[in-house]
Amino acid sequence: MAKSRSARQGPAAPARYKAGLAMRRKVLGARHVNRALAEARAEPFIADVQRFITEAVWGSIWTRPGLDRRTRSMLNLAMLAALNRSNQLDINLRGALNNGVTPAEIKEVFLQVAAYCGAPAALDAYAVAHRLLKEIAREGSGGAPQRPTKRGGRRSRKARTPSL
């Protein structure tokens, strides 16, 4: 017989979820997290993975005392760049900036990626970071940010990869 959801999660799961949700909002911003959770409510197919990410990644890993949020953000940027996960790199760049990582430090992280993971991975990461930093500068100067849409509206503009 299948166990109920609460039995599978165990007694610590609600506390991990709550802590994870708070940390996720601190790093990524409430707007992004609320949008992801609303999407999970609207699409039950992704609800379990959203809960897992909030509990395990944000509630169990990001809340650990061994590394500060800036360091965790820089590690994430390096790993996402190395894995060529530009779709996740965008939001994690915002999170890194929220955690106090500077554009100069982001540049150094991607240089490290180039040395250890190869130029193509680093160049893709630079392209995403460059586009995002320009977008944030426009937001700060009153310009309207380019937000890709899934249906209708502006089309998503893929970051251009700089050449060697």
10 Å CB burial of residue 91 (0-12, 13-18, 19+) is middle
Q: pLDDT band for position 4 (50/70/90)?
A: very low
Q: pLDDT band for position 142 (50/70/90)?
A: low
Residues 132-139, mean pLDDT to the nearest whole number: 93
Task: Judge contact between 99 and 138, C-beta under 8 A.
Answer: no
Q: pLDDT band for position 39 (50/70/90)?
A: very high
Domain residues for the domain of 21 are 12-66
Residue 41 confidence (pLDDT): 92
Verify that 83 and 134 share a domain, yes or no: yes
Q: What is the mean pLDDT of the chain?
A: 84
Verify that 84 and 163 share a domain, yes or no: yes
Residues 54-80, mean pLDDT to the nearest whole number: 96
Residue 120 lies in a domain: yes
**Number of neighbouring beta carbons within 10 Å of residue 151:** 4
Q: What are phi and psi of 102, to 5 degrees?
A: -90, 160
Task: Judge contact between 128 and 159, C-beta under 8 A.
Answer: yes
Residue 163 confidence (pLDDT): 35
Q: pLDDT band for position 13 (50/70/90)?
A: confident
Residue 6 lies in a domain: no
C-alpha 159: how far from chain center: 17
